[in-house]
Structure 1
Amino acid sequence: MRRLLRILLLKPILWAAARFSSRPERDRIFKALSLLQESVEKEPGKKGLVIPFAATAGKFIIFSDHHKGRRNGADDFTAAESNYLAALGYYHAADYYYINLGDSEELWENYLWQIKKPNQQCFEAEKKFLDHNRYIKMFGNHDLFWDNDPLAAWQLKSIYGEKVKVYEGLVLKTSIDHPDSPLTIFLTHGHQGDASSDGNWFSKFFVARIWAPLQAYLRINPNTPAYNAEKKTLHNHLMYEWSADRANSILITGHTHQPVFASLTHLERLYKNMELALQAKDEKAIEAAKAGIARYEKDFTSVAVQYMQMRPTYFNTGCCRYADGDITGIEIADGAIRLVKWSAQKGREVLEEMQLEELVRQLCVGDR
């Protein structure tokens, strides 16, 4: 039956996917992000929280895009679970806030009841943060269920043992010892502006409860930025363009599964390092950059034209479902912001780091 339906419905579904699926549109994305941040700051607690913190004392870990499934062949989180649990154990012991930035549960391909038991250990690890009032859960496009299903609140209580509010946005605010010191950090999943999952309540319900399960049953993958290099590049560019136009502010998202630090992907940073090494005539650094570019270029071919001039306004967590089991996230702690990776071989590894004071300095230079 599945095979027959797939033959009959493949063309109509592919047409509909092209017509209605994830299509980054500049004006729509800009409007959605601006309205969300404005709503969070004007009415804290409704769509999101506003949390002030001391730059040198605040501790936050941000993970996104786990896509926890039912531990079958289609569950990409399976290989990453042990690294995720190790990371949560580390951050809980170190008194971090845990910001879960959305798409934590894969509810396009699964029903919630199917993933509860396989992920019980993960839910218990997350609950430890909740028990100390240090857990902030947000929704993305693959777990829109948390935002629009009338039973979502009951289901969350059954998982965590208490009420859990799920938000769309979050604003962190801090001050740095600098003439233009206020820093605003706006966080959201990053699907805002997607016509298929960020529209009115009906479109959200249709995608989460009808469209996505149909695609999953017929085994037709949705064409989202996470799986489409062209859309991933465009999406990151639009996120950067929106964030670069805002004073003393940075944007942190997930959604694309591609880590971005200070507005640069890893490949873009390698190209920038090579340009700087060429200017300094540093042969050792030139060769190191070339080797890195050769290693990563086959998987990530797109590079922003203006990578040498980009302001450090956009950050992306990456994801918790890489094929090798590694996970990436963003840390804010000890007066710094970091891109970190957790792997079975090395545990926690800092890939990129910048002091918040230096971040604010660079933002202020660009604003003048």
Structure 2
Amino acid sequence: MRKLLQKLLTGPIIRLANKYSSRPDEQRVHEALTTLFNKIRKEPGKRGQLIEFDPSSKLIIFSDQHKGNRNYSDDFALSEKNYLAALRYYNEQDYLFCSLGDSEELWKNTLIGVVKNNKETFEHEKLFLERNAFIKIFGNHDLYWDNDPLAAFTLEKVYGQKIRIYEGVILQIPLKDQLLSVFMTHGHQGDLQSDGNWFSKWFVSNIWGPLQAYLRINPNTPAYDSQLKSAHNAIMYEWTAKQSGLALITGHTHQPVFNSLTHLERTYIRLEAAKEKGDQAQIQKIEAELAAGKISGDTSPRLNYSKNTYFNTGCCCFNDGDITGIELEGGKIKLIKWKFNPESGPIRIVLEEAELEHLLEA
């Protein structure tokens, strides 16, 4: 019976989840981002950190792990091997680690269950904290860390020492005699379905979670291959485009974005360039790539994004076990993926990269 229901319901349920899981309001999103950014700059240490960041320094940003309790509604379970391998790599390489929200799935699960079933991941994160190299940002699914009076006590028990939780962080990076501000926050602010919405939390906990566990559905498809920019990512971009000397990095949407474009949008750009050159071999190759993928959204995307300063980490809970994140290293910004190879184990793959200096030219 379960297999029959999986076959019949997986597609419709994922489409409904994508349609109703996010309801961003442009004005609310823009106002929330502006307010938080200004608060951090004026009063660093309250809602967020203001960090002087040397271009030669190293930072890894992961978000949306959604650590669960290892039942069939645990989206993180398949990605755990890649996540642990990634944390070992970045700790050995002395990276600063920013966990950009929704690290723990506390809408579907109890905190006790999440802590009990994720001891190894917390131990790996703890290694960064011991080097004073761990930044923890809250999102909508782990809002508990910000609004519960016992959160500080719980965090100290989990990590073995006190740790502050923030809503955002601003990196100030000196480049070309100019200052680039990199603003990082989870990105749920201004989303009517996510920003402290009690009904969404109740629905996920009491309806979606049990249904997902029974049908064993993970709605997090590898979005870096097959989707155009979501409405929420587009709204984030519009806010960033109004700023000067600033780049924005968020999570929340589970859709990787690099230099304001998704992987699919870049593919369309390559197709247009091939058509302009009359390169028939390249045209056929790209069209075959598009035909082989499952394209969602408009097939004529807006490609004239004039600024390249919006980025999204993606998530650490794709249904194939892959995880994506953003690296800052050696004066560059990179979109990376960790993928499990049956022969060699987890491997790191650079999907996109650009010089940080180019962000000042936008």
TM-score after normalising by structure 2: 0.85
For 2:340, the equivalent position in structure 1 comes to 344
- Displacement of 1:287: 3.1
- Can you give the 5+ residue segments of structure 1 that lack an aligned partner in the other structure? 1-16, 364-368
Task: State the match for 1:49 in structure 2.
Answer: 49
User: 1:288/1:337 Cα in 2 relative to 1: closer, same or farther (>3 Å)?
Assistant: farther
AA aligned to 2:187 is G
What's the counterpart of residue 366 of structure 1?
Answer: none
Say if 1:232 and 1:256, in contact at 8 Å, map to a contact too. Answer: no
- In structure 1, the partner of 2:76 is 77
Equivalence for 1:26: 26
Kindly report which structure 2 residues correspond to 1:117-136, keeping only aligned pairs within 5 A, or say none.
117-136=116-135
Cα distance in 2 for partners of 1:120, 1:239 equals 34
Report the TM-score, using the length of structure 1 for normalisation. Answer: 0.83
Q: Is the 8 A contact 2:247 2:359 kept in 1?
A: no
* Mapping for residues 311-330 of structure 1, pairs under 5 Å: 311-330=307-326
Structure 2 distance, partners of 1:143, 1:173, is: 27
One-letter amino acid of the counterpart of residue 117, structure 2: P
- Quick one: distance in 1 between partners of 2:57 and 2:280? 40
> Secondary structure of the equivalent of 1:308?
coil
Counterparts of 2:311 and 2:145, CA distance in 1:
24
2:205 is aligned with 1:213: yes
Q: Which residue of 2 aligns with 1:143?
A: 142
Identity among equivalent positions (%) equals 49
Within the alignment, does 1:186 sit opposite 2:183 as a pair? yes
Cα–Cα, structure 1 residues 318 and 129, in superposed 2: closer, same or farther, change >3 Å? Answer: same
Match 2:231 to one of 234, 243, 246: 234
In structure 2, the CA distance between the partners of 1:287 and 1:253, relative to structure 1 (3 Å rule), is: same
Give the aligned residue type for 2:356.
Answer: L
Per-residue CA shift, 1:101-124, capped at 9, x if unaligned? 000000000000011121000000
CA gap 1:101/1:230 in 2 versus in 1, 3 angstroms: same
Structure 2 CA distance for aligned equivalents of residues 83 and 215 of structure 1: 29
Which residue does 1:358 correspond to in 2?
358
The secondary structure found in structure 2 opposite 1:117 is: helix
- Alignment root-mean-square deviation, CA: 2.6
* CA shift digits 1:147-185 (9 cap, x unpaired): 11111111111100111111111101112126xx32111
What is the one-letter code of the residue matched to 1:250?
A: A
Counterpart secondary structure, 2:285: helix
2:256 counterpart of 1:267: no
Is there any run of 5+ residues in structure 2 with no aligned partner, and where? 1-16, 214-218
Contact 1:226 1:255 in 2 (8 A): no
Give the equivalent residue in structure 1 for 2:251. Answer: 254
Query: Residue deviations 1:296-348, cap 9 Å, x none?
Result: 3x243346743134311211100000111110000011110000000112600
CA gap 1:31/1:91 in 2 versus in 1, 3 angstroms? same
Q: 1:193, CA displacement in angstroms? A: 0.3
Aligned length: 332
Deviates more, 1:21-30 or 1:119-128: 21-30
TM-aligned CA deviation for residue 290 of structure 1: 1.9
Amino acid at match of 2:99: N
Q: Distance in 2 between matches of 1:191 and 1:132?
A: 29
* C-alpha displacement of 1:35: 0.2
- CA shift, 1:22, in A, is 3.9
Q: 8 Å contact 1:339–1:350 — kept in the other structure? A: yes
Amino acid at match of 1:38: N
Q: List aligned pairs for 1:272-283, cutoff 5 A.
A: 272-283=269-280
Kindly state the Cα deviation for residue 232 of structure 1 after the two structures are TM-superposed.
6.9
Match of 1:59 in 2: 58
- Per-residue deviation, residues 55-96 of structure 1 (Å, max 9, x unmatched): 1x1111000101000111111111100000000000001111
